[in-house]
Structure 1
Amino acid sequence: MKKYFIALLIFSQIVFSGCQTQNNIISEEVKENIKSRVDNSENTGIVVGVINSKGVTYYNYGVKSLKTNSPVDENTVFEIGSVSKTFTGILLADRVVNRELSLDTPLQQLLPKGITAPKRNGKSIKLYHLSNHTSSFPGMPNNFTPANSENPYADYSIEQLYNFLNDYELPRDIGSKYEYSNYSQGLLGHLLAYKKQMSYEELVNEVITNPLKLENTRITLNPKMKENLAIGHNSFGFEVENWDIPTLAGAGAIRSTAVDMLNYLAHNMGLKKNDLYPAMKLSHTKTATVHNSLKVGLGWHILLRDRLEIVWHNGGTGGYRTFIGFIKGGDKGVVVLTNSKNAVGIDDIGFHLLDATSPLTEPKKPSIANLINIKIRNEGMEVATEIYWKLKESQSDKYDFGENQLNDLGYFYLSKGELENAIAVFHLNVKIFPNSSNVYNSYAEALMKNNEKEKAIINYKKSVEINPDNINSIAMLKKLGMNDGD
């Protein structure tokens, strides 16, 4: 049994006159931690960039693709996911600074004729509510039903965006609670561009990327970006599709490099002066509280640690994770990019580089599922199974042999429509963990998809026998006409 969540996650080399790259900014501890993550197959490639008033420094380890083994570097292109929200926040702040809009401008004022924003107790949603996640909109709209789970935002239309808005009833008072919302940020980005009669990408390029000379920060990949693109990978080392986010682009559609992201940070920090700096400063200003140590600006989040204020955001798409942040009023900014989706993430690296008291996550043992996946692909299930048992007996301390390793691999095969591999992996997991209710449920689910009803019933029953409270298995047995005592 497994639940799937689709979301964007909870982010030209800069040269200063007379300054050189600093060799000791990224410690050996951080470098060894990064090496371990890549060598243990937690990540495919990681790029770290650090900036201060003395210059910039990078550390790169790993590859763009496991197939080509081309190394990552500071010019490698990654999807930055929800770091795009900081661009959307700056776009709003720029309109405010130029007196075209106010933070208190009602959402309704930007909507096309015939579209009505919901109200609550007579109060209206303001633009800043969209930017700081207090609009009372959900994380994702209830009409978000992707045709392709590997590129989930691609077919979400403007019509759906507006239909949800027209039909939605706010569950609580506007501004009363923080709820991270891709919908609200995507809506804000769309409307800011709509009012300028532009696409979101055109607006970002006109206001931010072109003036700041962020030449490799785009939604649409130019030829150079295509050449330098890191391929996204899931936690098993499978290559995954890039995400297309046309309607909700303001929530997470941008791609970029470490060089450009450090340039972006330099302008946000005031290390490089530009006409956008007043808008950038406004976007860093606290407008809402998540809890005592976490505030929200416009797009950006602000973490309070002792006397430090860290302005930051992270990001994630199907095969990428990103972190970007800087010390407000201080002299350090950090970007971390990886072309891997995994449970650990890379936020801890970014926070540690900004505040050494923030701990690094210890790299985990490599998942046995990664190796088994490779063996299945190259040598078949029979050979992979033999290798699994041998390694479990002789190298149990080297790999993570936990129940969820093969279970997650089975579900990945299931999502790809590879039923034979999925069933074989789930069956192996049942043999390894014969006292787990969950593995029988998973095996039964795959059997059902393969129209093996009788076998599925046997395994659902076994799941309930081990855990009488396994709701999913109980529900499936009832659906299959199995009553208590059958």
Structure 2
Amino acid sequence: MTSEHGAALADRLADAVAHIDAPDIVVAVTRRGVRTVLTGGSALSPPTPRHALRYELGSVSKTFTVLLLAELARAGVLALDDPLAAHLPDLPPLPHPHSRQITLRHLATHTSGLPRIPTDLVAGALLRPYDDGYAAYDTERLLRTFARTRPRYQPGTRWRYSNFGLALLGPAMSHAAGAGYPALLRNHVLHPLGLAETTLGPGATGTDAVGHRTNGVTPVGSTAMGAFVAAGAVRSTPGDLLSYLEAHLAPEHTPLSGPLHDVQIPLLRRGWRHRHTHTLTWYHHPAPRGPLIFHVGATLGQQAFLGYHPATHTGLVALATRRGRTCRMIGTAYELLYALADERRCEPGRARGTPT
């Protein structure tokens, strides 16, 4: 990348940072292996630089979980079309026939028919929006709740986003592989990809980003996911996330070449007029010269966006601590990546088809 192009990219990132309304912001791009990182925000700079903090990824964690699933499938530990119940020996009896039809693939692709979250979490989420309802939700309770939950439709027939479904992949993979989810993720994904700063829990004091309530001042406690660890517990630094995207952009240079290819294959259509496809784990939108692939996530006080455009070998990471739900980060990041997908475009903000 020439210095002129590098300066233009830095200007684009600076514009994106200025457009996002959040206490702490990181926007980082890898483009043909060259990295550019910009930070900002309305809060005072923390003692640890923003680009070195570890951020909560929320639902972006699902891409790590499903990459692990793809790796275990490649290794013959399990098969994507195995029934979920076959890998949950402690599961109570299933009274609903559709529950017995749910496969691991259905969970990964949000086609299981299960609701977004268990019904026993809904009231607490509405009445106490800053309480971490997942923290006390253990695996035994998760399995009991699954056993009595009637899927909303036959598995494999409709797309319906489900944290509940992704959470069930954790104990299913643990039983199949004979190890806990944290150890599986560490040994099969994080270590092979060299993601040394990526964890499932808090780091040392001062190394984790801190979210805020709507006033932008009152801190929000870190999110403990309980039995939903597979659905949203990953924390990572901008540098590790750039490495993660670079692995997806060049799978052949990693020890996980097969699984990294597998998670990028379009499998189903969704969205308005079914114009957006979905892979085993990523959203897959049309863009200039090839698909734009991305995922978003949020916790009580933070937001995350990861996306990449294989045709231009471009990846983008956007992270923010937030105040409320209107920091504009997700739309800004998506539009920026869409603009970078077409090198003729000079300004973000004109993209077609924002995330749904």
The alignment's TM-score, normalised by the length of structure 1, stands at: 0.64
For 1:190 and 1:122, the matched residues in 2 are separated by 16
For 1:28 and 1:151, the matched residues in 2 are separated by 38
Q: State the shift of 1:22 in Å.
A: 6.9
Q: Which residue number corresponds to residue 32 of structure 1?
A: 15
**Residue of 61, 65, 68 corresponding to 1:91:** 68
Q: State the shift of 1:273 in Å.
A: 1.3
8 A Cα contact 1:150 1:240, kept in partner: no
8 A Cα contact 1:152 1:243, kept in partner: no
Q: Select the structure of larger CA radius of gyration.
A: 1
Change (3 A) 1:272 1:215: farther
Q: Which residue number corresponds to residue 204 of structure 1?
A: 185
Q: Which residue number corresponds to residue 165 of structure 2?
A: 184
What SS is found at the alignment partner of 1:235?
Answer: coil
Q: Which residue number corresponds to residue 246 of structure 1?
A: 226
What SS is found at the alignment partner of 1:349?
Answer: helix
Change (3 A) 1:36 1:172: closer
Q: Which residue number corresponds to residue 44 of structure 1?
A: 23
After superposition, what is the alpha-carbon deviation per residue over 1:74-110, rounded to whole angstroms, capped at 9, x for unaligned?
A: 2111101111000111011111212222221111111
What SS is found at the alignment partner of 1:333?
Answer: strand
Q: Which residue number corresponds to residue 155 of structure 1?
A: 136
Q: Which residue number corresponds to residue 314 of structure 1?
A: 296
Structure 2 gap ranges (5+): 340-344, 351-356
Change (3 A) 1:330 1:35: closer
Q: State the shift of 1:26 in Å.
A: 2.9
Change (3 A) 1:25 1:183: farther
Q: Which residue number corresponds to residue 6 of structure 2?
A: 23
For 1:216 and 1:239, the matched residues in 2 are separated by 23
What SS is found at the alignment partner of 1:103?
Answer: coil
Q: Which residue number corresponds to residue 328 of structure 1?
A: 310
The residue type paired with residue 255 of structure 1 is R
For 1:285 and 1:335, the matched residues in 2 are separated by 21
Q: Which residue number corresponds to residue 84 of structure 2?
A: 107
8 A Cα contact 1:314 1:322, kept in partner: yes
For 2:251 and 2:261, the matched residues in 1 are separated by 13
Q: State the shift of 1:36 in Å.
A: 4.8
After superposition, what is the alpha-carbon deviation per residue over 1:43-86, rounded to whole angstroms, capped at 9, x for unaligned?
A: 001111111224111111137x65x7547432111101111000
The residue type paired with residue 325 of structure 1 is G
The alignment's TM-score, normalised by the length of structure 2, stands at: 0.85
Q: State the shift of 1:120 in Å.
A: 4.3
Q: Any residues of structure 2 matched to 1:66-77 within 5 Å, and which?
A: 66=44, 69-70=46-47, 72-77=49-54
8 A Cα contact 2:74 2:259, kept in partner: yes
The residue type paired with residue 161 of structure 1 is L
Which structure is higher in RCO with an 8 Å CA cutoff and minimum separation 6?
Answer: 2
Q: CA-atom RMSD, angstroms?
A: 2.7
For 1:300 and 1:36, the matched residues in 2 are separated by 25
Q: State the shift of 1:195 in Å.
A: 2.8
In percent, how many aligned pairs have the same letter?
A: 26
1:236 aligns with 2:215: yes
After superposition, what is the alpha-carbon deviation per residue over 1:175-224, rounded to whole angstroms, capped at 9, x for unaligned?
A: 1111110000111123212333333222111111112121110012333x
Structure 1 gap ranges (5+): 1-17, 362-486
The residue type paired with residue 228 of structure 2 is L
